[in-house]
Amino acid sequence: MSAPSLLPAVETFLSRPAKMLIGSQWLAAANGESIESSDPATGKVIGRFPAGAEADVNAAVIAARRAFVGPWRKISPYERGRLLQKVASLIERQGEELAQLITLENGKPLWEAKKEVATAVSWTEYYAGWTTKLLGDTIPVSLPGQFLNYTIREPLGVVAGITPPNYPLTMPLYKAAPALATGNTIILKPSEDTSLVALRLVELFLEAGLPEGVFNVVTGYGETAGAALANNNDVDKITFTGSTDVGRLLVKASAGNLKKVSLELGGKSPNIVLPMPTWRPRLKACSWEFFSARAKSARRGRGSSWKNPSMTASSAVLRKWPGISV
């Protein structure tokens, strides 16, 4: 079967020099360096993007802080929800384009990339619905007279999101959508393996009408751009999905200003297959869990234990599958 031809929109996007979004400006890295993005299936270079570092991160933090204390604070929860709904509609409208970009840069099959786009739409719609439903409490006070305390939920401020390459579209949204829904501004540092998808995503946010500086994208390596975000004392929260070792470094770096940290680390899960009349559906399920997202899914089974006496005749077949033990 021949590969589908690229959409004109994909070709146009890849033909443009990719730049970071800092405030209202699309910029190259201050150091002038860039990173190649390659198609994992062919090794062909499909684009280049800036190798941002500390200077770029500092500029993005200033832009995000300015937007947080400026126009973004004046936008109502209802309006934030409307903006996210527009983003969801744009993702759905550009679904085929985004799916092709995901496949080109990440390497997952096109059908799987389309499922990721559908998930991105539903997640964005979900968080859009939460903007008007985050409420405080009214608390009676047991003192003479009529007194009460009340609480309100307020945004933290500037959030930094660092994402892995396995889900190039949904992982950035996993960080950005809840941060924006709750009134924060965000700086995204996508994986250096899949930054082009993130840059196309932020274009859709701007098209939806998001004010400048609310969503910034600094591309680059973790040890430079990522570390600079973690160490910046004007970042109020950092959210990271990736390895446990890097997570430990981020916790240490957060001590400077006691920034809040959310970590999703090192997800690997065992599979236990109980006795069944037939083993083929279970084998299919285990292989899907192992190989989905280019075998980089956090739900990927590190190993599978098969508890079925009828499996002995099939042991030789099953041992050919990585990650499956009999």
CA distances from 323 to 43, 84, 168, 271, 295 (A): 26, 40, 25, 10, 11
Could you write out the DSSP letters of every residue in 56-123?
HHHHHHHHHHHHHHTGGGGS-HHHHHHHHHHHHHHHHHTHHHHHHHHHHHH---HHHHHHHHHHHHHH
Reduced to 3 states (helix: H, G, I; strand: E, B; else coil), residue 152 is coil
Q: What angle do CA 320, 323, 326 make, to 5 degrees?
A: 70
- Total Cβ atoms within 10 A of residue 257: 11
The neighbouring-strand residues paired with 22 are 25
Which pLDDT belongs to residue 289? 60
Q: Which residues neighbour 10 within 8 Å (Cβ) at sequence distance 6 or greater?
A: 97, 100, 101, 104
Of 200, 133, 134, 135, the C-alpha closest to 173 is: 200
Amino acid in the structure at residue 59: A
Amino acid in the structure at residue 291: F
Percent of the chain with pLDDT strictly greater than 70: 80
Q: How far apart are CA 120 and CA 283, in angstroms?
A: 28
Which pLDDT belongs to residue 318? 41
Which pLDDT belongs to residue 284? 66
Which pLDDT belongs to residue 291? 55
Which pLDDT belongs to residue 285? 66
Q: How far apart are CA 143 and CA 147, in angstroms?
A: 7
The verdict on pTM exceeding 0.85 is no
Per-residue pLDDT of the chain (326 residues; tens, 9 = 90+): 456 689 999 999 999 999 999 999 999 999 999 999 999 989 999 999 999 999 999 999 999 999 999 999 999 999 999 999 999 999 999 999 999 999 999 999 999 999 999 999 999 999 999 999 998 899 888 888 788 899 989 999 999 999 999 999 999 999 999 999 999 999 999 999 999 999 999 999 999 999 999 999 999 999 999 999 999 999 999 999 999 999 999 999 998 889 999 999 986 666 666 666 666 666 666 665 655 555 455 555 555 554 554 444 344 444 444 444 43
